[in-house]
Amino acid sequence: MSHQVLDSNFSLNFVEELFSKTDSFLNGDKSYNFQGKLVASVFFEPSTRTRTSFEIASKRIGCDFVHLNVDSSTSLSKGESDQDTVLNLVSMKPDLLILRHSNFKSLTSALDRISCPIISAGDGKLEHPTQALLDAYTIRHFKKDFKGLRVLLVGDVKNSRVANSNRILLQNLGAEITICCPDIFKPDSKEWENIPHINKLNESIGEFDVIMKLRLQKERLGEERESVSDLRAFVLNSKHFEWAQSEAVFMHPGPKIDGEDFLPEVLSDSRIKILKQVEFGVYLRSALMSLLLEQS
């Protein structure tokens, strides 16, 4: 019997339970014991924070952890398919699988045969559900309530899986999403049709409670490749921080590129919570794996 991949369509009850458990881990709870449980991760795309965060999170709750980074040193270089790589790893009986891939749909036939829980660690340009969860948890930590909260996504929204997952989750939690980018970097899918769009990053930044900067997805660009220079006007600088609310929260899912996302002059501003996102990500992923392992 297959196990559904954990994606961005979370029930509010699940999010509440997850955030409560994350709170416990943040406050030093160590009443868990998953000794003997094995977490396996396989990444077909590069990662630093997500891959390391999952490894640390799994070890914090007592699990063993095995990681496969698919590159020229693996059997894919010999012609093995992505599906067979996943199925061979799962045949070694991990208790939970963490998977990053450029196209989960292409793995459907393999994923339908897997019985252990599967966490998406990134699905191409479509979703990054655990990033959205840790982003929402970070926002909750500093802003408490989502209802009516105004969130601005700035930059390459069109190619960002983080933007997609945050749109789904934050709207479900009651936040209001606006995007700020050049017209060509605006998503063209129907899910984004009713999301307000502004094409200038100016003093209107002061209207927002949370500003999330998104990096240029250089590896995923299409027709917008010719308009990359237009994003220079969307680099956050000291003027934007002057216009922003004194209690605004500035975020970035990483990797942050200095000079392309934030100018060096603003990086010491205490309203930037990027390292808190990384810190909270470990607690949240520990909580998430705990819940899934308890239920499996």
Q: CATH number of the domain that 164 lies in? A: 3.40.50.1370
Question: Residue 189 above 60 pLDDT?
Answer: yes
137: nearest Cα among 197, 210, 195, 65:
210
- Cβ atoms of 110 and 91 closer than 8 Å: no
Are residue 266 and residue 137 in the same domain, yes or no? yes
Label residue 5 by pLDDT band (50, 70, 90): low
Question: Residue 75 above 60 pLDDT?
Answer: no
Question: Residue 74 above 70 pLDDT?
Answer: no
Q: What is the pLDDT of residue 70?
A: 83
Are residue 122 and residue 141 in the same domain, yes or no? no
Are residue 266 and residue 286 in the same domain, yes or no? no
**Residue 115 belongs to what domain range?**
5-128+279-295
- Give CA separation, 50 vs 119, 121, 278, 295, in Å: 12, 7, 9, 23
Are residue 24 and residue 122 in the same domain, yes or no? yes
Q: What is the pLDDT of residue 2?
A: 40
Q: Give the pLDDT mean for 201-206.
A: 98
| Residue whose structure tokens are 């190619």 | 159
Are residue 93 and residue 190 in the same domain, yes or no? no
Q: Give the pLDDT mean for 120-128.
A: 94
Are residue 269 and residue 289 in the same domain, yes or no? no
Q: What are the beta bridge partners of residue 158?
A: none
Say what percent of the chain tops pLDDT 90.
86
- Tokens, residue 279: 């810190």
Q: What is the pLDDT of residue 202?
A: 97
pTM: 0.94
Q: What is the pLDDT of residue 72?
A: 54
Q: Give the pLDDT mean for 114-126.
A: 94
Are residue 63 and residue 176 in the same domain, yes or no? no
248: nearest Cα among 209, 212, 276:
209
pLDDT digits (tens, 9 = 90+) for 208-247: 999 999 999 888 787 878 789 999 999 999 999 999 999 9
Pick 250 or 3 by higher pLDDT.
250
What type of residue is 259? G
